Amino acid sequence: MVPRENQVTDQMRSLIFKLVYEDFKARREVARTLNIPKSTVNSIIKKIEETGQVSASQRGGARSTIITQQIKDRIIELMNDDLTTNLREIQQQLGVDVAEKIIWKCLKDLGFTSKLMPPIYEQRNTPETKMARQNYIRWYFSKTLLFRLSKIIFIDESLFNLHIIRSYGWSRRMRNPKPIVCPR
């Protein structure tokens, strides 16, 4: 923001107060003498009468931030626990009334970016799995035919839903996201 061209200093304000109240000069005459607009003299006198302060009030200043350092630390802790959390979950876990966009900006400032995280499927045919299957087959064929036909229930091995796994997650800038290990 560009500063104002003609700012009235505190010394000038004190001088205006002295000329008007102590020397009993007219406001128009004070404005002509100091080469400032009469409206400025009037507003300064009005402020002095209302507040009793000669100095100018502070303008602007830093905007108050909702996200404190404690909340930022909590966000980092949540991200370290699970990089696949989304903004809405972070918002709910924080317990602070902030918009998702503010959380997104905070994550961006902390160095997190949203990236596609390709799933890496766990191996189905590991040596342990093969051994467990062989043991099951041996046990299964050691039973009688009547037991095999009446006591065994077959369960479908397909997934419950294709969209169980999240494909996007968060990671630090310039780093690859940690892949998600999921069953087939």
Q: Which fold has domain 10-51?
A: Arc Repressor Mutant, subunit A (1.10.10)
Nearest-angstrom CA–CA distance, 13 and 35: 13
**Can you tell me the distance from the alpha carbon of 165 to that of 71, in angstroms, rounded to the nearest whole number?**
28
Give the pTM: 0.43
- Closest by CA position to 55, among listed 46, 47, 67: 47
- Tell me the backbone φ, ψ of residue 11, rounded to 5 degrees: -65, -40
Domain boundaries, the chain: 10-51, 69-115+166-175
Confidence at residue 1, expressed as pLDDT on a 0 to 100 scale: 46
Q: How confident is the model at residue 74 (pLDDT cuts 50, 70, 90)?
A: very high
Element (H or E) spanning 114, and its range?
strand 112-116
